[in-house]
Structure 1
Amino acid sequence: MGDFPTALDATDHKTPSLSERFEALEREREQSWPAEALTINRDQRSLLVREHDLSKGAAVGDRFPDATLTRLDGTLLQYPSADRGPSVLIFFRFAGCPACNIALPFYRDHLFPELKRRNIELLAISPQPIHLLRDISDKHHLPFTVASDERLSLARKLGITYRYDEPSRRSAVEKGIDPLTLNGTDTWVLPKPAVYVVDHEKTIIFRDVSPDWMERTETAPILKAVADFTQYYD
Protein backbone atom coordinates (compact mmCIF):
# COMPACT_ATOMS: atom_id res chain seq x y z
CA MET A 1 0.00 0.00 0.00
CA GLY A 2 1.30 3.47 -0.82
CA ASP A 3 1.62 6.36 1.56
CA PHE A 4 -1.32 8.27 0.10
CA PRO A 5 -5.01 7.36 -0.19
CA THR A 6 -5.86 6.44 -3.75
CA ALA A 7 -9.55 6.94 -3.05
CA LEU A 8 -9.20 10.71 -3.37
CA ASP A 9 -10.65 12.06 -6.61
CA ALA A 10 -7.89 14.09 -8.26
CA THR A 11 -10.48 15.89 -10.40
CA ASP A 12 -12.25 17.34 -7.36
CA HIS A 13 -11.41 21.03 -7.24
CA LYS A 14 -12.25 21.22 -3.54
CA THR A 15 -9.13 20.63 -1.46
CA PRO A 16 -9.82 17.68 0.86
CA SER A 17 -9.33 18.39 4.54
CA LEU A 18 -6.96 16.31 6.63
CA SER A 19 -9.86 14.36 8.10
CA GLU A 20 -11.19 13.60 4.59
CA ARG A 21 -7.75 12.37 3.53
CA PHE A 22 -7.53 10.08 6.56
CA GLU A 23 -11.03 8.79 5.93
CA ALA A 24 -9.94 7.88 2.41
CA LEU A 25 -6.85 6.13 3.80
CA GLU A 26 -9.04 4.17 6.20
CA ARG A 27 -11.33 3.09 3.36
CA GLU A 28 -8.34 1.94 1.37
CA ARG A 29 -7.11 -0.09 4.32
CA GLU A 30 -10.50 -1.75 4.67
CA GLN A 31 -10.13 -2.99 1.11
CA SER A 32 -6.45 -3.93 1.16
CA TRP A 33 -5.46 -4.99 4.69
CA PRO A 34 -6.06 -8.42 6.24
CA ALA A 35 -8.87 -8.27 8.79
CA GLU A 36 -6.53 -9.17 11.67
CA ALA A 37 -4.10 -6.35 10.86
CA LEU A 38 -6.95 -3.85 10.60
CA THR A 39 -8.32 -4.97 13.97
CA ILE A 40 -4.93 -4.63 15.68
CA ASN A 41 -4.50 -1.13 14.29
CA ARG A 42 -7.98 0.02 15.28
CA ASP A 43 -7.85 -1.60 18.73
CA GLN A 44 -4.59 0.21 19.56
CA ARG A 45 -6.00 3.54 18.46
CA SER A 46 -9.24 2.98 20.40
CA LEU A 47 -7.24 2.09 23.52
CA LEU A 48 -5.25 5.31 23.24
CA VAL A 49 -8.44 7.36 22.92
CA ARG A 50 -9.95 5.70 26.00
CA GLU A 51 -6.82 6.20 28.10
CA HIS A 52 -5.95 9.69 26.84
CA ASP A 53 -4.95 11.94 29.75
CA LEU A 54 -3.15 15.27 29.50
CA SER A 55 -3.52 16.25 33.14
CA LYS A 56 0.24 16.00 33.77
CA GLY A 57 1.39 17.63 30.55
CA ALA A 58 2.29 21.25 29.85
CA ALA A 59 -0.98 23.07 29.14
CA VAL A 60 -2.09 26.31 27.58
CA GLY A 61 -0.71 29.13 29.70
CA ASP A 62 2.38 27.18 30.77
CA ARG A 63 5.90 27.98 29.63
CA PHE A 64 7.04 25.57 26.97
CA PRO A 65 9.69 23.22 28.45
CA ASP A 66 13.34 23.59 27.49
CA ALA A 67 14.62 21.04 25.03
CA THR A 68 17.61 20.17 22.86
CA LEU A 69 16.59 18.89 19.44
CA THR A 70 18.79 17.60 16.62
CA ARG A 71 18.38 19.00 13.12
CA LEU A 72 18.71 16.69 10.12
CA ASP A 73 22.23 18.01 9.47
CA GLY A 74 23.28 16.89 12.96
CA THR A 75 23.43 20.35 14.53
CA LEU A 76 21.69 21.00 17.83
CA LEU A 77 18.70 23.27 18.21
CA GLN A 78 17.99 24.73 21.65
CA TYR A 79 14.29 25.35 22.09
CA PRO A 80 12.91 27.70 23.19
CA SER A 81 15.74 30.23 23.21
CA ALA A 82 15.94 33.97 23.80
CA ASP A 83 16.42 34.75 20.12
CA ARG A 84 13.51 32.64 18.85
CA GLY A 85 10.21 34.27 18.03
CA PRO A 86 6.78 32.62 18.06
CA SER A 87 6.62 29.08 16.75
CA VAL A 88 4.30 26.28 15.72
CA LEU A 89 5.53 22.81 16.66
CA ILE A 90 4.14 19.68 15.04
CA PHE A 91 4.92 16.34 16.69
CA PHE A 92 4.64 13.28 14.45
CA ARG A 93 5.46 9.59 14.83
CA PHE A 94 8.10 8.57 12.27
CA ALA A 95 9.07 8.94 8.62
CA GLY A 96 7.36 5.76 7.41
CA CYS A 97 4.03 6.49 9.12
CA PRO A 98 1.41 6.72 6.32
CA ALA A 99 -0.68 9.26 8.24
CA CYS A 100 2.39 11.44 8.81
CA ASN A 101 3.06 11.31 5.07
CA ILE A 102 -0.36 12.84 4.57
CA ALA A 103 -0.20 15.40 7.39
CA LEU A 104 3.22 16.95 6.81
CA PRO A 105 2.76 17.71 3.09
CA PHE A 106 -0.66 19.11 3.96
CA TYR A 107 0.90 21.46 6.50
CA ARG A 108 3.58 22.32 3.93
CA ASP A 109 0.92 23.51 1.51
CA HIS A 110 -1.78 24.90 3.80
CA LEU A 111 -0.02 26.08 6.96
CA PHE A 112 3.62 26.93 6.24
CA PRO A 113 2.99 29.73 3.67
CA GLU A 114 0.87 31.76 6.12
CA LEU A 115 3.29 31.18 8.98
CA LYS A 116 6.18 32.28 6.80
CA ARG A 117 4.29 35.44 5.88
CA ARG A 118 3.95 36.22 9.57
CA ASN A 119 7.59 35.31 10.35
CA ILE A 120 6.51 32.42 12.55
CA GLU A 121 8.74 29.37 12.70
CA LEU A 122 7.36 25.91 11.92
CA LEU A 123 9.11 22.89 13.44
CA ALA A 124 8.20 19.25 12.80
CA ILE A 125 9.47 16.92 15.52
CA SER A 126 9.80 13.14 15.79
CA PRO A 127 11.96 10.93 18.04
CA GLN A 128 13.27 8.98 15.04
CA PRO A 129 17.06 9.04 14.45
CA ILE A 130 18.01 11.67 11.88
CA HIS A 131 19.47 9.25 9.31
CA LEU A 132 15.99 7.74 8.98
CA LEU A 133 14.04 10.92 9.64
CA ARG A 134 15.56 12.59 6.57
CA ASP A 135 13.41 10.38 4.35
CA ILE A 136 10.16 12.22 5.02
CA SER A 137 11.75 15.65 4.61
CA ASP A 138 13.47 14.72 1.35
CA LYS A 139 10.48 12.87 -0.05
CA HIS A 140 8.13 15.81 0.36
CA HIS A 141 10.65 18.64 -0.04
CA LEU A 142 9.62 20.08 3.29
CA PRO A 143 10.67 23.75 3.52
CA PHE A 144 10.53 23.90 7.32
CA THR A 145 12.81 22.45 9.98
CA VAL A 146 12.45 18.76 10.78
CA ALA A 147 14.22 17.72 13.99
CA SER A 148 14.71 14.68 16.17
CA ASP A 149 13.60 14.63 19.79
CA GLU A 150 16.19 12.12 20.88
CA ARG A 151 15.02 9.54 23.43
CA LEU A 152 11.63 11.30 23.41
CA SER A 153 12.95 13.75 25.98
CA LEU A 154 10.66 16.62 24.99
CA ALA A 155 7.63 14.45 24.27
CA ARG A 156 7.93 12.93 27.74
CA LYS A 157 8.11 16.40 29.33
CA LEU A 158 4.95 17.33 27.46
CA GLY A 159 3.19 14.12 28.52
CA ILE A 160 2.28 13.09 24.98
CA THR A 161 3.94 9.68 24.64
CA TYR A 162 2.18 6.36 24.23
CA ARG A 163 3.31 2.74 24.40
CA TYR A 164 2.54 0.05 21.83
CA ASP A 165 0.06 -2.48 23.13
CA GLU A 166 1.16 -6.11 22.92
CA PRO A 167 -0.67 -7.04 19.67
CA SER A 168 0.80 -3.97 17.95
CA ARG A 169 4.28 -4.78 19.22
CA ARG A 170 4.06 -8.37 17.99
CA SER A 171 2.77 -7.22 14.62
CA ALA A 172 5.63 -4.74 14.28
CA VAL A 173 8.22 -7.38 15.19
CA GLU A 174 6.75 -9.75 12.58
CA LYS A 175 7.28 -7.00 9.99
CA GLY A 176 10.93 -6.67 11.02
CA ILE A 177 10.45 -3.35 12.82
CA ASP A 178 12.77 -2.56 15.72
CA PRO A 179 12.07 0.24 18.21
CA LEU A 180 15.56 1.62 17.56
CA THR A 181 14.40 2.54 14.05
CA LEU A 182 11.38 4.35 15.47
CA ASN A 183 12.80 6.27 18.41
CA GLY A 184 16.45 5.34 18.90
CA THR A 185 15.72 3.40 22.10
CA ASP A 186 14.77 -0.15 23.04
CA THR A 187 11.28 0.87 24.18
CA TRP A 188 8.13 0.69 22.08
CA VAL A 189 7.13 4.29 22.70
CA LEU A 190 6.14 7.08 20.29
CA PRO A 191 4.67 10.57 20.60
CA LYS A 192 1.01 11.14 19.99
CA PRO A 193 0.55 13.56 17.08
CA ALA A 194 0.32 17.04 18.53
CA VAL A 195 0.44 20.73 17.66
CA TYR A 196 1.66 23.48 19.98
CA VAL A 197 1.65 27.20 19.29
CA VAL A 198 4.21 29.07 21.40
CA ASP A 199 4.17 32.86 21.61
CA HIS A 200 6.89 35.52 21.92
CA GLU A 201 7.21 34.87 25.66
CA LYS A 202 7.61 31.09 25.18
CA THR A 203 4.14 30.49 26.57
CA ILE A 204 1.88 27.80 25.12
CA ILE A 205 -1.16 29.51 23.65
CA PHE A 206 -2.60 26.53 21.76
CA ARG A 207 -2.34 22.78 22.29
CA ASP A 208 -4.03 19.95 20.43
CA VAL A 209 -3.00 16.34 21.01
CA SER A 210 -4.45 13.46 19.00
CA PRO A 211 -4.48 10.07 20.77
CA ASP A 212 -5.71 8.53 17.51
CA TRP A 213 -2.93 9.11 14.98
CA MET A 214 -5.48 8.98 12.16
CA GLU A 215 -6.89 12.26 13.46
CA ARG A 216 -4.72 15.38 13.13
CA THR A 217 -5.19 19.07 13.79
CA GLU A 218 -6.68 20.95 10.86
CA THR A 219 -4.98 24.20 9.87
CA ALA A 220 -7.89 26.53 10.70
CA PRO A 221 -7.60 26.38 14.52
CA ILE A 222 -3.81 26.70 14.31
CA LEU A 223 -4.05 29.79 12.14
CA LYS A 224 -6.76 31.25 14.37
CA ALA A 225 -4.51 30.85 17.41
CA VAL A 226 -1.68 32.49 15.50
CA ALA A 227 -3.89 35.36 14.34
CA ASP A 228 -5.31 35.93 17.80
CA PHE A 229 -1.92 36.69 19.30
CA THR A 230 -0.04 38.17 16.34
CA GLN A 231 -2.60 40.93 15.88
CA TYR A 232 -1.12 42.55 18.96
CA TYR A 233 2.39 42.50 17.46
CA ASP A 234 1.73 43.36 13.81
Structure 2
Amino acid sequence: MSNPLIAALDAEVADLRRNDGPLGDRLRRLAERVRELSPVYADAVDRFVMRLESVGAGANAPQVGDVMPDFMLPDHDGQMVTLERLIGSGPAVLVFHRGHWCPYCRLTMAGMAEIEARLAPHALAAISPERQQYTRALRASAGAGFPFLSDVGSGYALSLNLAVWVDDAMARLIASSGLDIPEYQGTAGWIMPIPAVFIVGTDGRVIARHIDPDYRRRMEQDAVLDMLGRVSSQPA
Protein backbone atom coordinates (compact mmCIF):
# COMPACT_ATOMS: atom_id res chain seq x y z
CA MET A 1 0.00 0.00 0.00
CA SER A 2 1.69 3.17 -1.19
CA ASN A 3 -1.02 5.64 -0.18
CA PRO A 4 0.66 8.38 1.93
CA LEU A 5 -2.08 8.26 4.60
CA ILE A 6 -1.80 4.48 4.97
CA ALA A 7 2.00 4.66 5.08
CA ALA A 8 1.90 7.36 7.76
CA LEU A 9 -0.58 5.38 9.86
CA ASP A 10 1.50 2.23 9.52
CA ALA A 11 4.44 4.19 10.92
CA GLU A 12 2.28 5.57 13.73
CA VAL A 13 1.05 2.09 14.70
CA ALA A 14 4.63 0.83 14.75
CA ASP A 15 5.64 3.72 17.00
CA LEU A 16 2.66 3.27 19.33
CA ARG A 17 3.41 -0.43 19.70
CA ARG A 18 6.68 0.58 21.36
CA ASN A 19 4.67 2.55 23.93
CA ASP A 20 3.77 0.54 27.03
CA GLY A 21 0.95 2.85 28.11
CA PRO A 22 -2.73 1.86 28.34
CA LEU A 23 -4.28 0.68 25.09
CA GLY A 24 -6.90 3.44 25.29
CA ASP A 25 -4.21 6.13 25.37
CA ARG A 26 -2.51 4.63 22.34
CA LEU A 27 -5.77 4.42 20.43
CA ARG A 28 -6.56 8.05 21.23
CA ARG A 29 -3.15 9.09 19.95
CA LEU A 30 -3.81 7.16 16.77
CA ALA A 31 -7.16 8.92 16.30
CA GLU A 32 -5.45 12.26 16.81
CA ARG A 33 -2.89 11.34 14.19
CA VAL A 34 -5.62 10.40 11.72
CA ARG A 35 -7.19 13.83 12.23
CA GLU A 36 -3.84 15.55 11.77
CA LEU A 37 -3.18 13.69 8.53
CA SER A 38 -6.69 13.85 7.05
CA PRO A 39 -9.35 16.01 8.71
CA VAL A 40 -11.75 15.05 5.91
CA TYR A 41 -11.39 11.35 6.72
CA ALA A 42 -11.66 11.97 10.47
CA ASP A 43 -14.83 14.02 9.99
CA ALA A 44 -16.31 11.24 7.85
CA VAL A 45 -15.54 8.73 10.60
CA ASP A 46 -17.26 11.00 13.13
CA ARG A 47 -20.40 11.07 10.96
CA PHE A 48 -20.27 7.29 10.43
CA VAL A 49 -19.94 6.66 14.17
CA MET A 50 -22.77 9.09 14.95
CA ARG A 51 -25.03 7.17 12.54
CA LEU A 52 -24.22 3.89 14.27
CA GLU A 53 -24.74 5.38 17.72
CA SER A 54 -28.07 6.94 16.68
CA VAL A 55 -29.51 3.53 15.78
CA GLY A 56 -28.03 1.76 18.80
CA ALA A 57 -25.74 -0.45 16.74
CA GLY A 58 -24.63 -3.44 18.78
CA ALA A 59 -27.13 -2.84 21.57
CA ASN A 60 -28.98 -6.08 20.81
CA ALA A 61 -25.88 -8.26 20.83
CA PRO A 62 -25.78 -10.89 23.61
CA GLN A 63 -26.03 -9.33 27.06
CA VAL A 64 -24.33 -10.38 30.28
CA GLY A 65 -26.07 -13.57 31.36
CA ASP A 66 -27.20 -14.50 27.85
CA VAL A 67 -26.08 -17.71 26.21
CA MET A 68 -23.44 -17.00 23.58
CA PRO A 69 -24.34 -18.92 20.41
CA ASP A 70 -21.83 -21.61 19.51
CA PHE A 71 -19.82 -21.36 16.32
CA MET A 72 -17.53 -23.38 14.13
CA LEU A 73 -15.06 -21.12 12.32
CA PRO A 74 -11.76 -21.77 10.54
CA ASP A 75 -8.63 -20.40 12.15
CA HIS A 76 -5.61 -18.86 10.43
CA ASP A 77 -4.42 -22.36 9.41
CA GLY A 78 -7.82 -23.61 8.29
CA GLN A 79 -8.47 -25.69 11.40
CA MET A 80 -12.06 -25.54 12.64
CA VAL A 81 -12.56 -24.01 16.09
CA THR A 82 -15.74 -24.06 18.17
CA LEU A 83 -16.81 -21.97 21.12
CA GLU A 84 -17.55 -25.19 22.97
CA ARG A 85 -13.89 -26.17 22.68
CA LEU A 86 -12.62 -22.74 23.74
CA ILE A 87 -14.65 -22.75 26.96
CA GLY A 88 -13.95 -26.41 27.69
CA SER A 89 -11.51 -25.71 30.51
CA GLY A 90 -12.43 -22.19 31.60
CA PRO A 91 -13.83 -18.84 30.51
CA ALA A 92 -12.77 -17.64 27.06
CA VAL A 93 -12.19 -14.18 25.61
CA LEU A 94 -13.57 -13.46 22.12
CA VAL A 95 -12.28 -10.33 20.41
CA PHE A 96 -14.16 -9.15 17.31
CA HIS A 97 -12.26 -6.81 15.02
CA ARG A 98 -12.51 -5.39 11.50
CA GLY A 99 -9.31 -6.77 10.02
CA HIS A 100 -5.65 -6.32 9.24
CA TRP A 101 -6.24 -3.14 7.22
CA CYS A 102 -7.64 -1.24 10.25
CA PRO A 103 -4.84 0.46 12.24
CA TYR A 104 -6.96 0.47 15.40
CA CYS A 105 -7.44 -3.28 15.05
CA ARG A 106 -3.73 -3.87 14.48
CA LEU A 107 -2.94 -1.93 17.62
CA THR A 108 -5.64 -3.79 19.57
CA MET A 109 -4.47 -7.21 18.42
CA ALA A 110 -0.90 -6.34 19.38
CA GLY A 111 -2.25 -5.19 22.74
CA MET A 112 -4.02 -8.49 23.30
CA ALA A 113 -0.85 -10.34 22.35
CA GLU A 114 0.95 -8.33 25.05
CA ILE A 115 -1.28 -9.83 27.76
CA GLU A 116 -1.73 -13.27 26.21
CA ALA A 117 0.66 -14.96 28.65
CA ARG A 118 -1.11 -13.33 31.60
CA LEU A 119 -4.48 -14.59 30.34
CA ALA A 120 -3.35 -18.21 30.39
CA PRO A 121 -4.81 -20.74 30.90
CA HIS A 122 -7.93 -18.93 29.66
CA ALA A 123 -8.58 -19.25 25.94
CA LEU A 124 -8.40 -16.19 23.70
CA ALA A 125 -9.54 -15.90 20.09
CA ALA A 126 -9.81 -13.08 17.55
CA ILE A 127 -12.69 -13.04 15.05
CA SER A 128 -12.91 -11.01 11.84
CA PRO A 129 -14.56 -11.41 8.42
CA GLU A 130 -11.20 -11.63 6.67
CA ARG A 131 -9.81 -14.52 4.63
CA GLN A 132 -7.05 -16.65 6.11
CA GLN A 133 -4.14 -15.08 4.25
CA TYR A 134 -4.97 -11.81 6.00
CA THR A 135 -5.69 -13.33 9.42
CA ARG A 136 -2.33 -15.11 9.23
CA ALA A 137 -0.58 -11.86 8.35
CA LEU A 138 -2.18 -9.95 11.22
CA ARG A 139 -1.51 -12.73 13.70
CA ALA A 140 2.17 -12.79 12.74
CA SER A 141 2.42 -9.00 12.80
CA ALA A 142 0.82 -8.83 16.26
CA GLY A 143 3.15 -11.52 17.61
CA ALA A 144 0.13 -13.47 18.80
CA GLY A 145 -0.08 -17.13 19.69
CA PHE A 146 -3.88 -17.31 19.94
CA PRO A 147 -6.13 -18.28 17.01
CA PHE A 148 -7.42 -15.74 14.50
CA LEU A 149 -10.77 -16.95 13.16
CA SER A 150 -12.46 -16.12 9.83
CA ASP A 151 -16.15 -15.26 10.06
CA VAL A 152 -16.75 -15.43 6.31
CA GLY A 153 -19.51 -13.09 5.20
CA SER A 154 -19.80 -11.88 8.81
CA GLY A 155 -22.38 -14.65 9.30
CA TYR A 156 -21.63 -15.16 12.99
CA ALA A 157 -21.43 -11.42 13.70
CA LEU A 158 -24.77 -10.94 11.91
CA SER A 159 -26.34 -13.67 14.07
CA LEU A 160 -25.18 -11.72 17.13
CA ASN A 161 -26.59 -8.38 15.86
CA LEU A 162 -23.00 -7.21 15.85
CA ALA A 163 -22.49 -6.50 12.13
CA VAL A 164 -23.13 -3.21 10.35
CA TRP A 165 -23.40 -2.09 6.75
CA VAL A 166 -20.83 0.50 5.68
CA ASP A 167 -22.63 3.21 3.71
CA ASP A 168 -21.54 4.10 0.18
CA ALA A 169 -19.86 7.37 1.15
CA MET A 170 -17.71 5.72 3.81
CA ALA A 171 -16.96 2.76 1.56
CA ARG A 172 -15.75 5.06 -1.23
CA LEU A 173 -13.54 6.95 1.21
CA ILE A 174 -11.96 3.77 2.53
CA ALA A 175 -11.46 2.44 -0.99
CA SER A 176 -9.88 5.72 -2.09
CA SER A 177 -7.09 5.01 0.41
CA GLY A 178 -6.18 1.90 -1.57
CA LEU A 179 -7.91 -0.53 0.80
CA ASP A 180 -9.87 -3.33 -0.89
CA ILE A 181 -12.26 -4.56 1.80
CA PRO A 182 -14.24 -6.91 -0.51
CA GLU A 183 -10.94 -8.55 -1.53
CA TYR A 184 -9.85 -8.96 2.08
CA GLN A 185 -13.20 -10.51 3.02
CA GLY A 186 -13.75 -12.50 -0.16
CA THR A 187 -17.23 -11.01 -0.60
CA ALA A 188 -18.82 -8.27 -2.68
CA GLY A 189 -20.47 -6.44 0.20
CA TRP A 190 -19.33 -3.91 2.77
CA ILE A 191 -20.36 -5.49 6.06
CA MET A 192 -18.16 -5.24 9.13
CA PRO A 193 -18.44 -6.25 12.77
CA ILE A 194 -18.59 -3.68 15.51
CA PRO A 195 -15.36 -4.28 17.42
CA ALA A 196 -16.28 -6.02 20.65
CA VAL A 197 -15.02 -8.25 23.43
CA PHE A 198 -17.06 -11.02 25.03
CA ILE A 199 -15.90 -13.04 28.01
CA VAL A 200 -17.81 -16.31 27.96
CA GLY A 201 -18.04 -18.71 30.91
CA THR A 202 -17.85 -22.48 30.84
CA ASP A 203 -21.66 -22.60 30.85
CA GLY A 204 -21.69 -20.69 27.57
CA ARG A 205 -23.09 -17.52 29.13
CA VAL A 206 -21.64 -14.05 28.71
CA ILE A 207 -19.77 -12.92 31.82
CA ALA A 208 -18.73 -9.52 30.51
CA ARG A 209 -18.80 -7.61 27.26
CA HIS A 210 -17.54 -4.41 25.67
CA ILE A 211 -19.29 -3.10 22.56
CA ASP A 212 -18.79 0.41 21.21
CA PRO A 213 -19.98 1.64 17.79
CA ASP A 214 -16.97 3.96 17.86
CA TYR A 215 -14.28 1.55 16.69
CA ARG A 216 -11.62 3.95 17.93
CA ARG A 217 -12.41 2.80 21.48
CA ARG A 218 -11.73 -0.75 22.70
CA MET A 219 -11.84 -2.69 25.96
CA GLU A 220 -8.75 -2.01 28.04
CA GLN A 221 -6.29 -4.82 28.61
CA ASP A 222 -6.48 -4.39 32.38
CA ALA A 223 -10.28 -4.62 32.27
CA VAL A 224 -10.04 -8.01 30.56
CA LEU A 225 -7.49 -9.24 33.10
CA ASP A 226 -9.46 -7.89 36.06
CA MET A 227 -12.69 -9.54 34.93
CA LEU A 228 -11.03 -12.91 34.41
CA GLY A 229 -9.29 -12.57 37.76
CA ARG A 230 -12.61 -11.97 39.50
CA VAL A 231 -14.24 -14.93 37.76
CA SER A 232 -11.33 -17.21 38.61
CA SER A 233 -11.39 -16.20 42.27
CA GLN A 234 -15.07 -17.06 42.70
CA PRO A 235 -15.80 -20.36 44.47
CA ALA A 236 -16.93 -23.16 42.17
Shorter-chain TM-score above 0.5 = yes
Deviation of 1:5 after TM superposition, in Å, equals 4.8
Which residue of 91, 105, 125 corresponds with 2:110? 105
User: Quick one: which of 120, 123, 130 aligns to 1:121?
Assistant: 123
Letter in 1 for 2:108: A
Residue type of the partner of 2:9? G
Give the alignment's TM-score, normalised by structure 1. Answer: 0.87
Which ranges in structure 1 are unaligned for 5 or more consecutive residues?
Answer: none
State which of 122, 146, 149 in structure 2 corresponds to 1:147: 149
- Does residue 46 (structure 1) correspond to residue 50 (structure 2)? The answer is yes
Once the two structures are overlaid, the 10-residue window that deviates more, 141-150 or 169-178, is: 169-178
CA distance in 1, matches of 2:149, 2:32: 31
TM-score (norm 2): 0.86
2:35 to 30, 39, 59: 30
Deviation of residue 151 (structure 1)? Answer: 1.6
Alignment CA distance shift 1:8-1:91 (3 Å): closer
Distance between the aligned counterparts of 1:105 and 1:207, measured in 2?
20
Q: Which secondary structure state, in structure 2, belongs to the residue aligned with residue 181 of structure 1?
A: helix
Q: Percent identity?
A: 24
Partners of 1:76 and 1:153 lie apart in 2 by 15
Distance in 2 between the 1:25 and 1:168 partners? 19
- Which residue in the other structure is 1:229 paired with? 231
- Secondary structure of 1:88's counterpart equals strand
1:208 partner SS: strand
1:125 & 1:9 partners in 2: Cα distance?
21
CA distance in structure 2 between the aligned counterparts of 1:102 and 1:9, rounded to whole angstroms: 7
Task: Give the whole-Å Cα distance in 2 for the aligned partners of 1:6 and 1:185.
Answer: 29
CA distance in 1, matches of 2:16, 2:82: 40
1:80 offset after TM fit, Å?
A: 2.2
- Equivalences, count: 227
Structure 1 contact 93–190 (Cα < 8 Å) conserved: yes
Distance 1:179 1:90 in 2: 19
**Which consecutive residues of structure 2, in runs of 5 or more, have no partner in the other structure?**
1-7
Confirm or deny that 1:58 pairs with 2:62. yes
Q: Does 1:86 align with 2:86?
A: no
More helix by proportion, 1 or 2?
A: 2
Looking at structure 2, the residues matched to 30 and 214 of structure 1 have their Cα atoms a distance apart, in angstroms, of 12
- The CA RMSD over aligned residues, in Å, is 2.3
- Which position in structure 2 is the counterpart of 1:208? 210
